Amino acid sequence: MMHEDRYGLSISTTSDAAASAYREGVDLMLAGWPGAAEALERAATTDPDFALPHIARARLHSFYQQGDLARKKAAVARELVARRGDARERSHVEALALAVEGRLPEALAATMRHVETWPRDAMVLAMPLGAFGLFAFSGMADHDRARQDLCERVAHHYGEDWWFLTFHGWSLTENGSVARGRAITERGFDLRRANAHGAHAVLHAMFEDGSVEEADRLVDAWIPTYDRAGILHGHIRWHQALGALEHDDAARALAIYADVLQPAVNAAPPLNVITDDAGLLWRLMAYGHPVPKELWTEADAAAQRLFPKSSLPFADVHMALFAAATHNREAIAARLAAVEQRLADGKLTTGPVVPAIFRAMSAFADEDYAECVRELTPVLGEVVRIGGSHAQRELFEDTFIVALIRSGELSRARAMLDGRLHRRPSPRDTRWRMTAA
């Protein structure tokens, strides 16, 4: 007897145990919950010819930058599905394998073709969604709109599914429909509280609508249920640290950093480690709080190990923060040359925004605030192209506003802050507005 996944799609195993373990692994993976890898390994061990657990496991390996393991498992999945898999499974494996191999434009094209035929294949639909998804890292300026459009196109296939509601709501939040997005995300989170992506998406909505204290209470109440090994544990606490900075509480932000974010204790995937660490330490510095030099040195050393070469633009700009903050001019020059070469070769889908960020952050760290403003002014509207979430990208807008204030361009700073305060209440922006008055 053939089995089905939780979404009613047939899966090519006759083993009850393998099917059950696969369904469990997929749900844990979609929830960002520990145990997914073990469940998928059980499925693959129980039925060694079942392709889907291999490709799902490959995807998990890729999150943690275990490239060799990921590619090997993807190759096994391709071989197995060719022998025992229907058209849906073959297309599923191919879309995920392309992503695992870093062939992101091809993976996005394969994903969109697949979703048109099998919209309830959540593992494939998940790939373009989220702050680190294929849309976000495509270089598109309208990737927030693309995620919302995709979710709304397939929403009738999912109904009140906890995973889909999580990402549908978050796509609305990121694209500016914050109240509607928050309501939908909270519905999904209420359906399954053991869902780190749900907690995370709710925190993004709370960030966007200014619910700083409510977000803090949510993390305090929920985080004890989530193991520190969870893929989003550190990042959820990062959101709490941002809330502390809203109230100028640098000591609490640094305590959160020491507890879960610094590289020695952070169990997150490498991309989360470097972006959360650089993003928080840079904000502390830019907002005028002292950051112990050893924190920058330790985090920079870890980042250099994890990302020794130019890679994703989103990683590149955070590596620029490390190099600028540590005044490592050699690192800035080398990485800037690499991204400028990619731009010249037509391989940098984000356009000129990444090299401009490199130069601007270096100028800011050197206290040349006018130069920082000059570099960022023509590209500020294009920062969205680097990917990530609005909460993450706001760092660059914050740096620009601080540079405006420190270079004496107070009217421009007030105008920007008036626009932000119109969108959401922010204690930090209110303080800055008073400074610029």
Distance CA 431, CA 437 (A): 10
Q: Which secondary structure element, helix H or strand E, spans residue 191, and what is its range?
A: helix 178-191
Question: Given this model, what pLDDT does residue 2 score?
Answer: 74
The angle at the Cα of 338, spanning 332 to 339, to the nearest 5 degrees, equals 90
The answer to whether domain 3-127 has CATH 1.20.120.430 is no
pLDDT in tens, 267-294: 999 999 999 999 999 999 999 999 999 9
Asked if 3-127 and 130-226 have one fold, the answer is yes
Instruction: State the maximum Cα–Cα separation within the chain, in Å, rounded to a whole number.
Output: 73
Burial of 377 (0-12, 13-18, 19+ CB in 10 A): middle
Question: Given this model, what pLDDT does residue 23 score?
Answer: 98
Question: Given this model, what pLDDT does residue 101 score?
Answer: 96
Question: Given this model, what pLDDT does residue 1 score?
Answer: 62
Question: Given this model, what pLDDT does residue 188 score?
Answer: 98
Domain segments of the chain: what residues? 3-127, 130-226, 272-436
For residue 283, give the amino acid letter: R
Q: Which secondary structure element, helix H or strand E, spans residue 3, and what is its range?
A: strand 3-4
**What pTM, to 2 d.p., does this model score?**
0.96
Q: What is the pLDDT along the chain (437 residues), one digit of tens a residue?
A: 679 999 999 999 999 999 999 999 999 999 999 999 999 999 999 999 999 999 999 999 999 999 999 999 999 999 999 999 999 999 999 999 999 999 999 999 999 999 999 999 999 999 999 999 999 999 999 999 999 999 999 999 999 999 999 999 999 999 999 999 999 999 999 999 999 999 999 999 999 999 999 999 999 999 999 999 999 999 999 999 999 999 999 999 999 999 999 999 999 999 999 999 999 999 999 999 999 999 999 999 999 999 988 779 999 999 999 999 999 999 999 999 999 999 999 989 999 999 999 999 999 999 999 999 999 999 999 999 999 999 999 999 999 999 999 999 999 999 999 999 998 999 999 999 999 98
Residues 416 and 404: beta-carbon distance below 8 Å: yes
Correct CATH for 130-226 of 3.30.450, 1.10.150, 1.25.40, 1.10.3470? 1.25.40
Query: Is residue 11 classed as helix, strand or coil in its secondary structure?
Result: strand
Please give, one letter per residue, the 3-state secondary structure of 199-240.
HHHHHHHHHHHCCHHHHHHHHHHHHHHCCCCCCCHHHHHHHH
Both tokens of residue 157?
Answer: 């296939």
Overall residue count recorded for the chain in this entry: 437
pLDDT in tens, 300-347: 999 999 998 877 999 999 999 999 999 999 999 999 999 999 999 998
Distance CA 201, CA 205 (A): 6
Both tokens of residue 90?
Answer: 């073959």
